[in-house]
Structure 1
Amino acid sequence: MTQRTTRTFSVENIKDFKQNLLSWSQQFETALWLDSNNYEQQYSNFDSALAVEEFTAIKTDYTNAFDKLKEYQTITKDYIFGYISYDVKNDVERLSSNNFDGLDFADLYFFQPQKLIFIRGKNIEFQYLKMVDDEIKNDFEEISNMSLQSKSRGVDSFELDSEKADIKIKLRIHKDEYHQKVTKVLEHIKRGDIYEANFCQEFYAENATIHPLEVYRHLNEISEPPFASFLKMDHQYALCASPERYLKKEGAKIISQPIKGTAKRLISAIDDAKIASDLSRDIKERAENVMIVDLVRNDLSKTAKMGSVKVEELCKIYSFKQVHQMISTVVSEIDMNMHPLETLRSTFPMGSMTGAPKISAMKIIEELEETKRGLYSGTIGYFTPENDFDFNVVIRSILYNEEKKYISFSVGGAITAKSVVEKEYEECLLKAKAMKYVLLSSK
């Protein structure tokens, strides 16, 4: 196992330290920040983590992607951070992706960070590889003492960038076309080809310049989700405000927490409580959630010990800053000798972003969607040296290629036999609201 030099410091003002840490991370070509926003959850290893500077890395297209990752993770025996894009489905199920892609992200990317920093409560733990002198102490002091001037430097450049080009957000699928496409999904459901499909559409901006860190901070501030992440790979960025966990491994235990069912938050506490209660009893939303729970149970059973797949929570309402969500928790137990990659491989892509039956749904949405999903509806996360892992679902996210000046965010919804096209469209607009707002208010 790779040896890291570890030092822990205590900090009183964690909020300021986190802001400084993120600003400090921008000097590196590669940075990945994971933040739970102190959201109370049963399964948690840290409040936040920052991984920067590649020591080793793997970047590949979908061909044999899981085998390549398996080999890399096995050899490295260390923390590795990165992502698996939705299109790695083509490795798992021998499918294809031929839709338009304006972002050009690699299908799979992981790196072993030279510098790794965990935040747990008021404790900051530094874990460095190949350290020079007092590097940890020096970095800690530099981060702690960052001046307001150095922090605001990013904001100034952001304002200048914004003057260069107005952000004009366009829809890849317009309203009438959306109606036609969802109607086709409903025809497939009536024919019995599928029970449910997660149909997605892209919002995008061309020739647009943003300051990624400031946009991420704004997006995170208005959402405060438990699976937020900020990814920087040279000129490519993912600004992710995800509320959803895809898959976590803790020893022999596997945890999946699919989301299906959304309602907006209301200002009045009484109205807000009522809309949450209505969501919990909504027959259509519960049916969507239960279908995906069945799919997840089926996926987990492929690697689980006999009889170990259980539903810990079914259709529980969790409240976030902007929306209420219906979340279920499905768990299983695996043999400790099984490679951690096998559970990821056998459940990927996550059922909440595909539909049921999974392969038929993926073929149909590939045909009807206009954009290659790429990192959207893929997953960002990490492996530990002990072979544990934790991965989110890349939703409520802005993807940005700085070189191509291309901004993209996608939203989707589960289409079932009970779906009303107009309501599905409204739900998409609700999900798009936060991303649209932060981009347009960034000018």
Structure 2
Amino acid sequence: MRITASYKVSDTTAFKRKLLEWAQSFDEVVWFDSNGHRDRYYSFDTLLAVDALTSFQTDFINGFDNLKEYQSATKDWIFGYLTYDLKNDIERLSSGHTDRLKFPEIHFFQPKKVIRVKDKEVLFDYLNIVADEIQTDYEMFLSKHSYKTDIQLNNQSVKIKMGIFKDEYFRQVKKMLVHIHRGDIYEANFCQEFYAENTRIDALKTYQRLNSVSKAPFATFLKLHDKYLISASPERYLKKRGTKIISQPIKGTARRSDDIKTDRKLKLDLQESSKERAENIMIVDLVRNDLSKSARRGTVEVEELCGVYSFAQVHQMISTVVARVEPEKNIIEILKETFPMGSMTGAPKVSAMKIIERLEAFKRGLYSGSVGYIDPKGDFDFNVVIRSILYNDTEKYVSFPVGSAITALSNPESEYEECLLKARAMRDVLENG
């Protein structure tokens, strides 16, 4: 059972900063920040879960079935992640690359404390065993007390390495294009890794810096003991609200410009690009097919096709696909039937994933997976883990992969430049501190 209390705050910016700093005293933290972005499916400004009462982690073998049992047993808030390599639980696939980050393939926990911020209201949702701490916690957040993290490091010493160099990237993209031209696939998301070894970073400060420059709608800070996700994701994988499910795939990226006229032209060029629209539409078709596995017949529809939205550093082409599910439909089955998200695989999905595994040079793990929550009513919301820094403090390993969609119209040089554009914020934050 949970006890809920609501309070008003006048300065939500200061309150949120203290909230996230306070959360660092716990071993399990999931923080979501919408950064002021509000579409029709907006639910909160900030959502925080800390301090596990129970937790669940496993590898991919029967991963979704085991998650189903855990969610059914708790019937409460659970927060956590699904790694890309859960594809191996769904299809006859494998992951052969070295795992240098060592994240379990699924990890969820039932938090003792859930705190939501929306407008000027803060909602505390605490389990009974800690409910007497609500008032104390609230008063601490309003005080002038400053929270300090245990690790105080700067990132000046981070030396970024490339998983593959430019020539190798070109060779692999050309191999991908051979598969496309002979009809094996229509599109595939090809990714490369940037990384740093023997490196320690202050994860909280790194997140704060990345979030300040990116201001993404699905920004996430995840801490599970020694493992961290620092994410400026702009993309929603899947949301469930009642019997409605919503997916918002992104395909199509253009840089921003400080010059207003140039910026408008870049946005218009993206909107009118036949290549970018083709990429987006192919993934929309894949998402429609994925949702149809769970949906009531005739309820899958495209609410918006190839809308262009502007973020702090890039313009993005986003579509919205929705469907209706039966009330008794198992929520973990919905995730299983649509995972991994089409924007990070390609079409046809299984063929694309096989080719991706052969041509990429690293294990994706949590990158291109998803972080999210399931609430006590069975509603959920999950993002796409892109524009993200992954960090294992014990291994002293930092990783930030990036990728782009390869189609018949792709030019390797342009795709490479798109990857560098997507990597820029993360690289700047790590290298420049």
Q: Secondary structure at the match of 1:5?
A: strand
TM-score scaled by structure 1? 0.96
- Higher mean alpha-carbon deviation, 108-117 vs 133-142, is at 133-142
The equivalent residue for 2:279 is: 288
With over 3 angstroms needed to count, the CA separation of the structure-2 counterparts of 1:155 and 1:13, relative to structure 1, is: farther
The answer (yes or no) to whether the contact 1:155–1:214 under 8 Å persists in 2 is no
CA distance in 2: counterparts of 1:269 and 1:354, whole angstroms? 34
User: Which residue, 351, 362, 371 being the options, matches 2:353?
Assistant: 362
CA distance in 2: counterparts of 1:192 and 1:146, whole angstroms? 63
CA distance in 2: counterparts of 1:418 and 1:142, whole angstroms? 56
Q: Does 2:15 match 1:20? A: no
The equivalent residue for 1:157 is: 152
CA distance in 2: counterparts of 1:223 and 1:138, whole angstroms? 33
Shift of 1:302: 1.0
Given residue 153 of structure 2, which amino acid in structure 1 is its aligned partner?
F
The equivalent residue for 2:314 is: 323
Aligned pairs for 1:129-168 (under 5 A) are: 129-132=127-130, 134-147=132-145, 150-151=146-147, 153-154=148-149, 157-159=152-154, 162=155, 166-168=157-159
Q: Secondary structure at the match of 2:175?
A: helix
Aligned pairs for 1:189-204 (under 5 A) are: 189-204=180-195
The equivalent residue for 1:176 is: 167
Runs of 5+ consecutive residues of structure 2 not aligned to the other structure: none
CA distance in 2: counterparts of 1:101 and 1:70, whole angstroms? 26
User: Which residue, 361, 364, 369 being the options, matches 1:373?
Assistant: 364
Q: Does 2:279 match 1:271? A: no
The answer (yes or no) to whether the contact 2:112–2:130 under 8 Å persists in 1 is no
Shift of 1:394: 0.2
The answer (yes or no) to whether the contact 1:167–1:208 under 8 Å persists in 2 is yes
The equivalent residue for 1:402 is: 393
CA distance in 1: counterparts of 2:325 and 2:184, whole angstroms? 32
Given residue 157 of structure 1, which amino acid in structure 2 is its aligned partner?
Q
CA distance in 1: counterparts of 2:331 and 2:129, whole angstroms? 29
User: Which residue, 102, 113, 116 being the options, matches 2:100?
Assistant: 102
CA distance in 2: counterparts of 1:390 and 1:132, whole angstroms? 25
The answer (yes or no) to whether the contact 2:30–2:48 under 8 Å persists in 1 is yes
Q: Secondary structure at the match of 2:430?
A: helix
Shift of 1:144: 2.0
The equivalent residue for 2:423 is: 432
Superposed CA deviations along residues 248-302 of structure 1, whole A, max 9, x for unmatched, are 0111111000000000111111211111011000000000000000000011111
The equivalent residue for 2:405 is: 414
The equivalent residue for 1:225 is: 216
Shift of 1:236: 0.5
CA distance in 2: counterparts of 1:127 and 1:158, whole angstroms? 33
The answer (yes or no) to whether the contact 1:5–1:131 under 8 Å persists in 2 is no
Superposed CA deviations along residues 140-192 of structure 1, whole A, max 9, x for unmatched, are 11222143xx34x4498224xx47xx211000111000000000000000111
CA distance in 2: counterparts of 1:133 and 1:43, whole angstroms? 30
CA distance in 1: counterparts of 2:131 and 2:158, whole angstroms? 46
CA distance in 1: counterparts of 2:191 and 2:357, whole angstroms? 10
CA distance in 2: counterparts of 1:40 and 1:86, whole angstroms? 27
The answer (yes or no) to whether the contact 1:259–1:352 under 8 Å persists in 2 is yes
Q: Supply the RMSD in Å over aligned alpha carbons.
A: 1.2
The equivalent residue for 1:75 is: 73
Q: Secondary structure at the match of 2:400?
A: strand
CA distance in 2: counterparts of 1:419 and 1:232, whole angstroms? 37
CA distance in 2: counterparts of 1:406 and 1:400, whole angstroms? 6
The answer (yes or no) to whether the contact 1:378–1:393 under 8 Å persists in 2 is yes
Given residue 427 of structure 2, which amino acid in structure 1 is its aligned partner?
K
How many residues align structurally? 433
CA distance in 1: counterparts of 2:52 and 2:150, whole angstroms? 26
CA distance in 2: counterparts of 1:94 and 1:156, whole angstroms? 42
User: Which residue, 369, 372, 380 being the options, matches 1:389?
Assistant: 380
TM-score scaled by structure 2? 0.98
Given residue 412 of structure 1, which amino acid in structure 2 is its aligned partner?
G
The equivalent residue for 1:238 is: 229
The answer (yes or no) to whether the contact 1:117–1:126 under 8 Å persists in 2 is yes
User: Which residue, 2, 5, 16 being the options, matches 2:3?
Assistant: 5
Q: Secondary structure at the match of 2:129?
A: coil
CA distance in 1: counterparts of 2:100 and 2:141, whole angstroms? 35
CA distance in 2: counterparts of 1:88 and 1:322, whole angstroms? 31
Superposed CA deviations along residues 295-350 of structure 1, whole A, max 9, x for unmatched, are 00011111111111100000000110100000000001111111111111111000
Given residue 202 of structure 1, which amino acid in structure 2 is its aligned partner?
E
Superposed CA deviations along residues 183-242 of structure 1, whole A, max 9, x for unmatched, are 000000011100000000000000111100000001011010110110001111000100
- Higher mean alpha-carbon deviation, 17-26 vs 125-134, is at 125-134
The equivalent residue for 2:88 is: 90
Q: Secondary structure at the match of 1:173?
A: coil
The answer (yes or no) to whether the contact 2:367–2:401 under 8 Å persists in 1 is yes
CA distance in 2: counterparts of 1:9 and 1:188, whole angstroms? 57
The answer (yes or no) to whether the contact 1:30–1:233 under 8 Å persists in 2 is yes
Given residue 152 of structure 2, which amino acid in structure 1 is its aligned partner?
S
The equivalent residue for 2:123 is: 125
Shift of 1:101: 1.7
The answer (yes or no) to whether the contact 1:400–1:408 under 8 Å persists in 2 is yes
Q: Secondary structure at the match of 1:337?
A: coil
The answer (yes or no) to whether the contact 1:58–1:72 under 8 Å persists in 2 is yes
Superposed CA deviations along residues 397-442 of structure 1, whole A, max 9, x for unmatched, are 0000011110000000000000000000000000000000000111
Identity of matched residues, %: 57
Q: Secondary structure at the match of 2:41?
A: coil
Runs of 5+ consecutive residues of structure 1 not aligned to the other structure: none
Given residue 30 of structure 1, which amino acid in structure 2 is its aligned partner?
E
With over 3 angstroms needed to count, the CA separation of the structure-2 counterparts of 1:198 and 1:249, relative to structure 1, is: same
The answer (yes or no) to whether the contact 1:100–1:370 under 8 Å persists in 2 is no
